[in-house]
Structure 1
Amino acid sequence: MNLFEKSSSSSSDEEEFIVIRRPKLYRKRVDCFEKYDDLNFFQRFRLRKTTVLSLLQEIEDVIKLPTQRGGCITPMQQLLLTLRFYASGNMQIAVADFLGVSTSSACRIIKRVSRALASLRAQYIKMYSDNREMERSAEKFYQIASFPRIIGAIDCTLIKIDSPGGIDAEIFRSRKSYFALNVQTVSDASLKIRDIVARWPGSVHDQTIFNNSNLRDRFENGEFGRYILIGDSGYSLRSYLMTKLLQTRTPAENLYNESIIRTRNVVERQYGVWKRRFPILRYGMRLKLDTTMAVIVATAVLHNIAIDMNDLLPEDLLYNEEMDNNEDILQPVENNLHMGHNIRQLLINEHFASL
């Protein structure tokens, strides 16, 4: 062997590295069903044990892992980790430590379970399908402040997010100067979410979201008959969407405004209960944009399930969402909204004038 060959051999030996793989760590996982009583369980996950068991039956086949090898995380553990993330409004590392999994596993679990819950949207978030349901809804709304024919109160709320980055990031900056999604919902008198749109940047106006929604097309096509929505002054007056008067001149008009304000308060209360049950909606999300949207819809599904199962929040956990006083007052376009003005005036003259 010549000198060059020896040098080459020596150099090759020096470039060899020994890679020692870190041994896999299996953490001890907490059995929350056994550890916590009903009250403590509810405080940590914001749903009762019976509700969680019922929910698990609906998504278990979707979220279970294909193998049981390697310390597999069970569907129940995945669901509880995700609920804890929604309920704590905390970072993923905190909920990972809480249930004894790695942060990377927690990230994947939250994404998987949120999408599975969001897939239940058609089953739990839906407008009315027949006249009997609409009539019952209108009766419940009428009991609040004597406003007739209402089947929903519509509004938007800002959900904080991290900047999504990229050249379009600034369109997510809301009028309150933080990055957000502007989420539209329709609430019924029981505070259930009947419709949700959770895909628009925070800078987009409420009316723009409604104009591009499927719900508007359904009302335009007469699917809900004589029944109507109510909204704040951020929405344009329509034949199927009543807003308050900017100026009142008669006692009947004063009654109309007072009634619409009191009745529309249900959507503000709905936001309050929704965000209080799942503080992740209040404190903001550090997730990818598509996962954030899935989380918003998933928590809306859980909100409705909680109402159906009578999982009421204790009084000390309830709070009222602050009213949005920064709404833009839209100027009506007469050629499109003439019928809306006529219907509003008819309600004032024939209904509120006789109260």
Structure 2
Amino acid sequence: MDINDMDLMDFEDMDSIEPSRQTIRYRRRANPFLLEEPDFKSKYRFSKSFGQKLLDLLREDLAHDPRGCPLSPELQVVCALRNWARHEIQDDTADLHGVSQPVISKTCKEVAECLSRISRRFIKMPATLIDQEESMRKFRSIAGFPMVIGAIDCTHIRIKKVSADGGQLYINRKGYPSINVQVVCDADLKIMDIVTRWRGSVHDSRIFRECRLKERFEAGAFSGLLLGDSGYPCTSYLFTPLLNPSTQAEENYNRCHIRTRNTVERCFGLWKQRFRCLLRGMFGDIETAKKTIVACAVLHNLAIDMREDVFPEEEDPQEQTSSQEPVVQAAIRNTVRGSIRRRQFIETHFN
């Protein structure tokens, strides 16, 4: 059309001239909770009832502005579960659910943040005297070791190489970058306390020395004991095994101590078997990795409460935990008060 002929047109007709627009078509995403139970568990390694419980906990926090066709809370929950439990490449999870890899990465981060905010509802030490006595009873049923309310140890969670200043401090004694995670568990293998802020090169004893839980024990908040390995100093509230038992009572103490403290090793094994990302490593940023570890601890406790079966899978060689005592460093020294109380404890309960 010649621009000079514009004045010959009826200007009312110009209202009907509209630029062509491309129609945006959104891909419909199926609700994973409509799957049959075997199919759901095969895809996500947890039952539908577990997924529904998690969805009920997080639905309000995961609700988004409906514009732009975001992932529904249902899809966000199952995508995070699949990624953490199977340790699947995020591209594969994205292809399965009809989204992009950055969406899966963002979804896992948001779900981890939501779970870490409510972690105190699921990860807590026994507060009342009745709860502490029940914990002691369960521990005593294992090997006859009295007055125990928790077993403590640390485990290394592999992370990607940190290139920033101080990145070498994340290299642990085995030569790879990690976060050294301190855990206290009960006799049911539930996590009662967790610390995820320390780099892989930090020794277990320092993590406990500077944690809030130590202050609570020293303030008399608990009537029972913790059991730890020889990487910790023996104190009046944390008992470690004797390095050179010389009497039958001391050998009985060591035997019962090792069998009872092994609870935390089994807790690590079960935790990492449920969430393979803890076993094989995390490759996001450090802060997201820490929140994901806490989120997996929350889900681990919830799975125990709901009696979730562990998904059948061949055991990974890296998953094997050792019951042998670690090499004791010279800096780990028992307190005088702790040694005296341990001696009195052995004479009272193991003679």
TM-score > 0.5 by shorter chain: yes
Q: Does 1:60 align with 2:59?
A: yes
Q: Does 1:38 align with 2:48?
A: no
Cα gap change, 1:315/1:256 in structure 2, threshold over 3 Å: closer, same or farther? farther
Q: How does 1:269-308 map to 2 (within 5 A)?
A: 269-308=266-305
Sequence identity percentage: 39
2:191/2:297 contact within 8 Å kept: yes
1:219/1:240 contact within 8 Å kept: yes
- Residue ranges of structure 2 left out of the alignment (5+ in a row): 1-21
Cα gap change, 1:148/1:160 in structure 2, threshold over 3 Å: closer, same or farther? same
Provide the alpha-carbon RMSD of the alignment.
2.1
2:139/2:145 contact within 8 Å kept: yes
1:174/1:203 contact within 8 Å kept: yes
1:154/1:267 contact within 8 Å kept: yes
2:150 & 2:314 partners in 1: Cα distance? 25
Of residues 195-204 and 68-77 in structure 1, the stretch that sits farther from structure 2 once superposed is 68-77
1:55 & 1:290 partners in 2: Cα distance? 22
Structure 1 stretches of 4+ moved >4 Å? 22-25, 314-320, 330-334
1:51/1:309 contact within 8 Å kept: yes
| Paired position in structure 1 for 2:10 | none
| Paired position in structure 2 for 1:165 | 163
2:32/2:74 contact within 8 Å kept: no
| Paired position in structure 1 for 2:337 | 339
Cα gap change, 1:23/1:258 in structure 2, threshold over 3 Å: closer, same or farther? farther
2:39 & 2:255 partners in 1: Cα distance? 41
Of residues 192-201 and 54-63 in structure 1, the stretch that sits farther from structure 2 once superposed is 54-63
Q: How does 1:21-170 map to 2 (within 5 A)?
A: 26-35=26-35, 37-65=36-64, 67-170=65-168
Shift of 1:131: 0.7
| Paired position in structure 2 for 1:176 | 174
| Paired position in structure 2 for 1:218 | 216
Post-superposition Cα deviations, 1:123-162, rounded to whole Å, max 9, x if no partner, equal 0000011111000000100010110100000000000100
Cα gap change, 1:95/1:314 in structure 2, threshold over 3 Å: closer, same or farther? closer
Letter of the 2:275 partner, please give it.
F
Q: How does 1:208-247 map to 2 (within 5 A)?
A: 208-225=206-223, 227-247=224-244
Letter of the 1:56 partner, please give it.
L
1:68 & 1:347 partners in 2: Cα distance? 62
1:71 & 1:220 partners in 2: Cα distance? 53
Shift of 1:27: 4.0
Cα gap change, 1:295/1:333 in structure 2, threshold over 3 Å: closer, same or farther? closer
Q: Which secondary structure does the structure 1 equivalent of 2:179 belong to?
A: strand
Shift of 1:164: 2.4
2:189 & 2:156 partners in 1: Cα distance? 18
Post-superposition Cα deviations, 1:284-326, rounded to whole Å, max 9, x if no partner, equal 1110111000100000000000011111215656786411757
Letter of the 2:291 partner, please give it.
A
Cα gap change, 1:332/1:199 in structure 2, threshold over 3 Å: closer, same or farther? closer
Cα gap change, 1:86/1:118 in structure 2, threshold over 3 Å: closer, same or farther? same
Paired positions, count: 329
1:244 & 1:167 partners in 2: Cα distance? 38
Cα gap change, 1:326/1:352 in structure 2, threshold over 3 Å: closer, same or farther? closer
Post-superposition Cα deviations, 1:162-208, rounded to whole Å, max 9, x if no partner, equal 01221111100111111110000001000000000011111110001
Please, what TM-score do these two structures have when normalized by structure 1? 0.87
2:107 & 2:163 partners in 1: Cα distance? 24
| Paired position in structure 2 for 1:248 | 245
Post-superposition Cα deviations, 1:266-298, rounded to whole Å, max 9, x if no partner, equal 100000010000001111111011100010000
